[in-house]
Amino acid sequence: MHRRRRSRSEFLKQEQVPPVGRNDKLFVRVQDEFGDRGTVMIVAMQDGAKDDQIQNVVEQLVKMGFAVHRTTGVRQTILAAVGARHDFDMRDLEVLPGVQEVYRVSAPYKLAGRSFRPEGTIVNLPHGVKIGGKEVVVMAGPCSVEGRESFFKAAEIVKNAGAKGVRGGAFKPRSSPYSFQGMGEEGLKIMREAGDKYGLVVVSEVMEISQIPLMITYVDVLQVGARNMQNFNLLRELGKIRKPVLLKRGIAATLEELLLSAEYIMAGGNYDVILCERGIRTFETYTRNTMDISAIPVIKKLSHLPMTGDPSHGTGRRDKVPPMARASVAAGADALLIEVHQDPEHALSDGAQSLFPQQFEDLMKELRLIAPIVGRTM
């Protein structure tokens, strides 16, 4: 029987949750009622904080909908707050008089968090391809679709080497407005035909909301690029469709921000989100970006969503791509996104980081050796 979900305040009132005191069972009840862990927070008061300051913090927490457990030490008081609320600003508490530090114990995302689906998410794609299962899936191809003949050649190369998906940009987010901007719909048509001919999953980037209806008719996975990771309007629209989304980490985004962006898509009902580490900006200038390999095991722990490594944008140099691809698989990546070009020296974008066909073939052979060592197949 469907029961109307109670609001937070109704819940607290009807369950007679005492505002202050021991609430051992509250945690479980919040979980039952709201289908997630709610929010668990610790507020550490300053050494020697005054009692009225402590009382004020308790009142604020209660007003925000939390039940509070107070532990009074000889010098320091600790407040543990449990509640169903996700949408609040921790700084509102941090600035209260007498507060030393506020720690959020539970994550601010719920659908993207591991506990939502402890067994992990498998994203099902055409041709029986599954991302997030035992098999490591490789999606490869040029940075941009440059023409029919060259893209078909690229698709043939990646297919023969054992990749399951072909990538290519039809709409390109270029740092300079004078650089090649992509072939648009013509590029999408070419990708679809090549994908059908070689039995490959087609992956391409969507840059704005108006492109979504067009793109879903041609591609199997919509990529959201690093520059759009926090384009929340775009993410919200992608939550309304029923096509997998490959969400790339922004160049200065924390992993929590990446998961909150995934949450935007999932909140709309589209749970087929694949995450991607593609390098972040650090003080190092030798490589284009710094490939954060540790993001892979961290995401696999925090989230049930499949995780991809993109060593091409991660390093920006083709000689560094194979080692970082090997490292990604060893670190537990579910998929790889790699730039390959039949003639990288004449590529219209990202030639320097695109592998030569032979390099890609050699890399695939190495990856097939590494995968079983970490319990995966390829």
Q: How far apart are CA 98 and CA 320, in angstroms?
A: 51
Q: For the chain, how many helices (H) and strands (E)? A: 13, 14
Per CB under 6 A, which region of 18-26, 223-231, 238-246, 291-299 contacts ligand PEP?
223-231
CA–CA gap between residue 236 and residue 35 (Å, rounded): 22
Amino acid at 319: D
User: Whose Cβ is closer to ligand PEP: residue 320's or residue 376's?
Assistant: 320
Q: CB under 6 A: which stretch of 96-104, 177-185, 214-222, 224-232 binds ligand PEP?
A: 224-232
Give the C-alpha separation, 35 to 132, whole Å: 24
Radius of gyration in angstroms for the set of CA atoms belonging to the chain, rounded to a whole number: 24
x/- map, 134-173, ligand PEP, by CB under 6 A: ---------x-------------------------x---x
CA dihedral 325, 326, 327, 333 (to 10 degrees): 70
List beta partners, residue 113: 303
What is the closest distance, in whole angstroms, from the C-beta atom of residue 6 to ligand PEP in the complex?
42
Which residue has tokens 């030639």? 351
In angstroms, give the least distance from the CB of 82 to ligand PEP: 39
Residue number with CB closer to Mn ion (37 or 248): 248
Residues 122-141, one symbol each (x = binds Mn ion by CB under 5 A, - = not), give: --------------------
User: Please, which residues have CB within 8 angstroms of residue 329's CB and are 6 or more apart in sequence?
Assistant: 136, 309, 336, 367, 370, 371, 374, 376, 378
In eight-state DSSP terms, residue 316 is S
Q: Which residue has the tokens 């300079």?
A: 176
Interface with Mn ion includes 350 (CB under 5 A)? yes
Minimum CB–partner distance for residue 361 and ligand PEP (Å): 21
* Distances in whole angstroms, Cα of residue 100 to Cα of each of 3, 94, 293, 328: 41, 7, 34, 39
Site for ligand PEP in 276-305 (CB under 6 A): 278
Residue nearest to ligand PEP (CB): 225
Query: Is 318 one of the binding residues for ligand PEP (CB under 6 A)?
Result: no
CB of 143 to ligand PEP, least distance (A): 5
Contacting residue, 37, 159, 164, 248, with ligand PEP by CB under 6 A: 248
Pick from ligand PEP, Mn ion, none: which does 248 bind, CB < 5 to 8 A by kind?
ligand PEP
Is residue 325 near ligand PEP by the rule CB under 6 A? no
**How is residue 250 annotated by DSSP?**
P
* Interface with ligand PEP, residue 314, by CB under 6 A: no
Calculate the dihedral angle through the C-alpha atoms of 153, 154, 157, 159, rounding to the nearest 10 degrees.
-110
Report the alpha-carbon distance of residue 377 to residue 372 in Å, rounded.
6
End-to-end CA gap in the chain: 45
Q: Which is nearer to Mn ion, 270 or 342 (CB)?
A: 342
Binder of Mn ion out of 12, 49, 57, 143 (CB under 5 A): 143
Q: Which is nearer to Mn ion, 27 or 356 (CB)?
A: 356
Q: Which of 38, 187, 225, 244 binds ligand PEP (CB under 6 A)?
A: 225
Tell me which residues touch ligand PEP (CB under 6 A): 143, 169, 173, 225-227, 248, 278, 313
